[in-house]
Amino acid sequence: MTPAPTAKSSMLPTYLQVAPLTVVLLLFFIVPVALVVVVSFFRYQMLVGIVPDLTVKNYVDLLSNPTTWTLYRSTLKFTLIVLAITFVLGFWIAYFLVFHVRNLLTAIGLFLVCTVPFWTSNIIRMISWRPVLGKEGLINSALLKTGAIDQPLDWLLYSDFSVVVAYVHLFTLFMIVPIFNSMARIDRSLLEAAVDAGASRWGVIWNVVLPLSKTGIALGALFVVTLVMGDFFVVTVMSGGLSGSATSGIFNDLQFLNYPRAAANAVILLIIVLMIAAAIFRLVDVRKELVR
Amino acid sequence: MSASPSYGPRPWTFYVLAALFTLFVIFLYGPMIAVLILSFQGPTASLVFPLREPSLMWFDELFNPRRTGDVVGAFNRSLPLALGVMLLTVLISVTAGFAFRRRFKGATAIFYTAIASLIVPGLVLSIGILVTFRYLGWSATWYTSGLGAHLSWALPFGLLIMFAVLGRLSPSYEEAAYDLGASRWQTVKEVVVPIVFPGMIAVALFGFTLSYDEFPRSWLTVGSKNTLPLEIWTMTTNVTSPALYALGTVTTIVSFLVIAIALSSIILIQRKRSRGK
Amino acid sequence: MKKTLLNKTISRRSVLKGGAAIAGATAVTGFPMVWAQALKDITLNHTGMSYSTLPDIAKQASTDLGFKVEMSVVDHPGLLNRLVQDPKSLDVADLEIWQSKVAVPQGALQAVEIAKIKNWGELTPLYTEGTFAGKEVSRQGDSPFEFLYREAADTNGFATGKTDFANFVPGVYNADTLGIRPDLVGREVNSWADLISPDFKGKTAIQNIPTNGIMDAMMACEAAGLLKYGDKGNPTQEELSATIAKLIELKKGGHFRALWNTFDESVNLMASGEVVIQSMWSPAVTAVQTQGIKCTYQPLKEGYRGWGNGLGLLAHLEGLKRDAAYEYLNWYNSGWVGGFIAKQGYYSANPKTAMAALTENERGFFYEGKAATADITSPTGEKTNSAGDKRDGGSYEERFAQVAVWNNLMDQAEFLYAKWNEFNAA
């Protein structure tokens, strides 16, 4: 970001300004996560509780159990599919809002129209897909009536399809916002220059718009990955319990207070997500782009 | 191509994209319209179409809970919590954003910590905060541990938005103000704040939305009284959907109203700005 | 000197809902109010799961007792987590018997002095003696009797016989079975094996709560002759692996339409006809019936899966709050609650007063296995059964004489959870 003008000699105001953030992060992120890591090395004895003997048993158990890997594979599969779809949707919708809508107020209005659903609880929005996708639901009834099919489609609900639909429904906005923000900063004269230089419509997008929206895309990807990998109820409810996810494993362990194993599983999940985030940051140095 | 000044006939791509946008909006709102219709179900509460015996009974159920759980009570916690998170997020993110305009020791560390706080799965943090509070001997409540959990989620978002917004703020405006003799505080008030104000609104909106609808991080940290998302979750373990659908309808209407208010205030501010000075 | 007020209150409660029927009147008589003035500022928090922690009960308790009772609803893991990590946030815990297995050894609950529970003698022997109708109740699984008593006031464990101290006061209980859509199922269903019968491929569901779901699965496998178990309440690792393997095989073959986690999902699955046979809880059956859809809680020849709840006092209660809690515990089994929850198919630990709180029609229907003489309604007033209907499974006695196994937290629970994860992931 732009540096502060006329350098003042005292750094005190700066430290004071960043202090509240630091305190909150310390108390509500660093300490809790540290505790989780510590607990993951404890032992759990059923009916007794957590026994503070340091052991790596939890990690060994989890990492050597093929189910763990199956669950992570399943979660990653969903993450990639949802990422791809939300990227395509997010990019083109942001593009439409920034470059095709002429009136700023209209753009903001349309943007807000996309936001309104987010104030209805995620859970309600998710279960509202049931009367639409179910065997007696809207889509099936419509298809049956028009004679397109003669048996209701059962893969619309309680399947991978319904999980992906729900994820896209819930998380596309998180892709739209950062991309919208990046695109809005693109200097229009660059586009004009490209057109003048003879670039086709597609060429302008590929060579100018896309690279300049890198930051927004990276942030959007980060948000979506985080949300999908950290989710436990969308996948359980929409798949009808037929699919598990990394977090549903943690949730199961919490059912009977096996904190150490849940903690170990959580640490593994955190590491994987951090690795993905690091990879995204490798591709796009978000900090540099933002703090210009 | 949209690169040309915005006059003249629209290219064919406009129509394609407009169609895509419309489809997306239908996709977003479709199920909610289904919910809207179904919330008028009669007492033979069918969860699917067709609508039988339309009635307002499920709306009544919301406000006079029998089986359905304490929606009004939960709302009376979610709303102040979201407002609190919104205010704190604006205050903390904005000031922190300003701090980041300079290089200071620990800036990178704090930045990546904030990002990590965003990434950490909500469930994990929830456990962590509960255990932290237990070791400190404090009880978990929605206005302490719950508030903190929500902030750990909203602050990084706010920070990132402020980065983007302050990045567009050219220092030349502030330097011009100093040259004209303005004090530091005056500069902030008269020059910086008006320019970053839309960004602050965005931070406020995000802060509110993220808190109001937050579930995984709230799961264990709100104490004995549930926030609205948690109450809804426990309702699904006990109750059938039409009450939930009624709730969805009410919430959507409230959202529309708030958006309308927000939009009109933006228009008013813009108008005042162009008129004034 | 204690001041006692004999307070006779008769309250009439009527429910009018969109023209539906009126619920019965209840009477709470002869309820002594100790320290009435002192207690009136107390607020008691009753935390439990959604099927038993109903706001109407709190409302009635607050009215009858003079102090405030409030309900907090959580999910299964939420309750245990709260008990252990945040005990001050609740006063009375409404937990399942198997959950006490985890909570009590960790010191979460204090001893209940049986002498202070006035109607203890009337409470069902299912809990207090481990017998029913003179015969010993199945010990497969975690039966209530095995966990009810503790050795002494300050120990945190389970006594093998009767003592003067309890870990909790008996609460609601029931015997679970499978729910079916008699209009869609196409043939007679009378065995647990029908859950896994290929006749219903793609139209079944099982509950996704591992401790419950595995029981249903074991009942089904045993009934179908596929597997043999030593003690279904405490299976070995081999037995569990074999059962899960069978479940995975069925899942891959498309046998299950869905697995449900919440009450709402189970009702939805049955009401929409997506499934015709599934694990189900009694109030879910009632909920489907209120939609005018035929749903039967089908008695099966191998017996039922029993479960029970208890109300425990948190370890931190003392003084006036503890007195209030005892008042509440006494009130809970004094009739009103029994009558109320009977209408969603649950039984009260005090059958005598519960039956007294019901109308003759309801008593006949819910407890005595007789045909209804008029419409039967749910606790919230919607109609569930018509005149002439008989309750599925017959009378109270018939039902509990056939409990084959109890809900439990088995010794191999950790193994079970890992295996169940496999089932989810497959």
Q: What is the CATH number of the domain that holds A171?
A: 1.10.3720.10
Indicate the residue of B219, B234, B240 with minimum beta-carbon distance to C73: B234
Residues of A in contact with C418 (CB under 8 A): 65, 67
Decide if A174 touches B, using CB distance below 8 A: no
Lowest mean pLDDT among A65-69, B252-256, C78-82: B252-256
C126 is a domain residue: yes
Indicate the residue of A130, A158, A252 with minimum beta-carbon distance to C420: A252
Q: Which long-range contacts (CB under 8 A, 24 or more apart) does C137-140 make?
A: C137/C306, C137/C400, C137/C403, C138/C303, C138/C306, C138/C403, C138/C404, C138/C405, C138/C406, C139/C233, C140/C231, C140/C232, C140/C233, C140/C234, C140/C404, C140/C405, C140/C406
Judged on CB neighbours under 10 Å (0-12, 13-18, 19+), A78 is: buried
Residue C75, both tokens? 């999910």
pLDDT confidence tier of residue B239, bands split at 50, 70 and 90? low
Whether the Cβ atoms of residue C112 and residue C378 lie closer than 8 Å to each other? no
Tell me which residue has tokens 């849940």.
A262
Q: Across all residues in chain A, what is the average pLDDT? A: 82
Q: How far apart are CA B231 and CA B70, in angstroms?
A: 7
* Selected residue of C142, C244, C260, C274 to mutate for chain A interface (largest A Cβ count, 10 A): C274
CB contact under 8 Å between C292 and B44, yes or no, is: yes
Residue B212, both tokens? 């109001």
pLDDT confidence tier of residue A142, bands split at 50, 70 and 90? confident
Judged on CB neighbours under 10 Å (0-12, 13-18, 19+), C146 is: middle
pLDDT confidence of residue A55: 82
Indicate the residue of C18, C54, C85 with minimum beta-carbon distance to B130: C85
Decide if A192 touches B, using CB distance below 8 A: yes
Decide if A45 touches C, using CB distance below 8 A: no
A211 is a domain residue: yes
Residue A79 has pLDDT above 90, yes or no: yes
Indicate the residue of A127, A252, A258 with minimum beta-carbon distance to C210: A252
List of E strands, A17-147: 43-45, 49-51
- My answer on whether omega of the bond before B50 falls inside 30° of 0, hence cis, is yes
Question: What residue of B is the nearest CA neighbor of A228?
Answer: B121
Residues of A in contact with B160 (CB under 8 A): 178, 219, 290
Decide if C21 touches B, using CB distance below 8 A: no
* Selected residue of A37, A101, A119 to mutate for chain B interface (largest B Cβ count, 10 A): A119
In this structure, the answer to whether residues C63 and C165 fall within a common structural domain is yes
Residue C183's domain comprises 176-303+402-425
Residues of C in contact with A235 (CB under 8 A): none
In this structure, the answer to whether residues C299 and C340 fall within a common structural domain is no
Residues of B in contact with C16 (CB under 8 A): none
Residues of C in contact with B234 (CB under 8 A): 50, 73-75, 78
- Residue A45, helix vs strand vs coil: strand
Higher pLDDT, C14 or A258: A258
Q: For chain B, how far is it from start to end, CA to CA, in angstroms?
A: 36
In this structure, the answer to whether residues C9 and C157 fall within a common structural domain is yes
Whether the Cβ atoms of residue B262 and residue B201 lie closer than 8 Å to each other? yes
CB contact under 8 Å between C73 and B65, yes or no, is: no
Indicate the residue of B121, B151, B267 with minimum beta-carbon distance to A270: B121
Per-residue pLDDT of chain C (426 residues; tens, 9 = 90+): 333 333 333 333 333 333 233 233 333 333 455 556 777 788 899 998 878 888 889 889 998 888 899 888 887 777 887 888 778 888 999 999 988 888 888 888 999 999 999 989 889 888 888 888 888 888 888 888 989 999 888 888 888 888 999 999 999 999 889 999 998 888 888 899 999 999 899 899 999 888 888 999 999 999 999 888 888 888 899 999 999 999 999 998 989 988 887 777 888 888 888 899 999 988 888 888 877 788 888 888 888 888 899 999 999 998 889 999 999 999 998 888 988 888 878 888 888 888 888 888 888 888 888 888 888 887 777 777 887 778 887 788 888 888 888 888 888 887 888 888 888 877
- Residue C117, helix vs strand vs coil: coil
Whether the Cβ atoms of residue B160 and residue A218 lie closer than 8 Å to each other? no
Decide if B46 touches A, using CB distance below 8 A: no
Decide if B32 touches A, using CB distance below 8 A: yes
pLDDT confidence tier of residue A232, bands split at 50, 70 and 90? confident
A91 is a domain residue: yes
Distance of CA C132 to the CA centre of its chain: 17
Distance of CA C5 to the CA centre of its chain: 34
Residues of C in contact with A70 (CB under 8 A): 422, 425-426
CB contact under 8 Å between B114 and A25, yes or no, is: yes
- Gap from B86 CA to chain C (nearest CA, Å): 27
Residues of B in contact with C51 (CB under 8 A): 237-238
CB contact under 8 Å between C75 and B69, yes or no, is: no
In this structure, the answer to whether residues C41 and C114 fall within a common structural domain is yes
pLDDT confidence of residue C94: 93
CB-based contacts of B256: which residues, under 8 Å, 6+ apart? A116
Indicate the residue of C51, C90, C267 with minimum beta-carbon distance to B224: C90
Domain B70-238: which CATH number of 1.10.3720.10, 3.40.640.10, 3.40.50.11540, 1.10.150.130: 1.10.3720.10
In this structure, the answer to whether residues C421 and C285 fall within a common structural domain is yes
- The number of domains in chain C is 2
Residue B53 has pLDDT above 70, yes or no: no
C180 is a domain residue: yes
Residue A51, both tokens? 């026994």
- The number of domains in chain A is 1
Q: Where in chain B is the domain with CATH 1.10.3720.10?
A: 70-238
CB contact under 8 Å between B44 and C45, yes or no, is: no
CATH code for position C138? 3.40.190.10
SS3 content of chain A, % helix, strand, coil (to 5): 75, 0, 25
Residue C327, both tokens? 């008042």
Q: How far apart are CA A85 and CA A79, in angstroms?
A: 10
pLDDT confidence of residue B4: 43
C394 is a domain residue: no
pLDDT confidence tier of residue A4, bands split at 50, 70 and 90? low
Strands C277-279 and C204-207: parallel
In this structure, the answer to whether residues C293 and C310 fall within a common structural domain is no
Give the global pTM.
0.80
In this structure, the answer to whether residues C81 and C130 fall within a common structural domain is yes
Decide if C386 touches B, using CB distance below 8 A: no
In this structure, the answer to whether residues C44 and C147 fall within a common structural domain is yes
C329 is a domain residue: yes
In this structure, the answer to whether residues C150 and C46 fall within a common structural domain is yes
pLDDT confidence tier of residue B111, bands split at 50, 70 and 90? confident
Question: What residue of A is the nearest CA neighbor of C84?
Answer: A257
Residue A233's domain comprises 61-290
* Selected residue of B102, B185, B209, B244 to mutate for chain A interface (largest A Cβ count, 10 A): B102
* Selected residue of A256, A259, A261 to mutate for chain C interface (largest C Cβ count, 10 A): A256
CB contact under 8 Å between B117 and A29, yes or no, is: yes
Q: How far apart are CA C163 and CA C144, in angstroms?
A: 14
Question: What residue of B is the nearest CA neighbor of C80?
Answer: B220
* Selected residue of B7, B83, B119 to mutate for chain A interface (largest A Cβ count, 10 A): B119
User: Within 10 A of B265 (CB to CB), how many other CB atoms are there?
Assistant: 11
Tell me which residue has tokens 């079970």.
C416
Residues 111-150 of A with CB under 8 A from B: 112-125, 127-132, 134, 136-138, 141
CB contact under 8 Å between C380 and B219, yes or no, is: no
Indicate the residue of A65, A127, A136 with minimum beta-carbon distance to C272: A136
Indicate the residue of C251, C264, C421 with minimum beta-carbon distance to A67: C421
- Gap from A269 CA to chain C (nearest CA, Å): 16
C383 is a domain residue: no
* Per-residue DSSP letter, B10: P
In this structure, the answer to whether residues C167 and C186 fall within a common structural domain is no
pLDDT confidence of residue C20: 30
pLDDT confidence of residue C10: 30
- Gap from C121 CA to chain B (nearest CA, Å): 31
In this structure, the answer to whether residues C38 and C153 fall within a common structural domain is yes
Walk across the sheet containing C277-279 and list its strands: C256-260, C204-207, C277-279, C178-180, C296-298
* Selected residue of A252, A254, A258, A265 to mutate for chain C interface (largest C Cβ count, 10 A): A252
In this structure, the answer to whether residues C153 and C63 fall within a common structural domain is yes
Q: Which of A4-8, A252-256, B135-139 tops mean pLDDT? A: B135-139
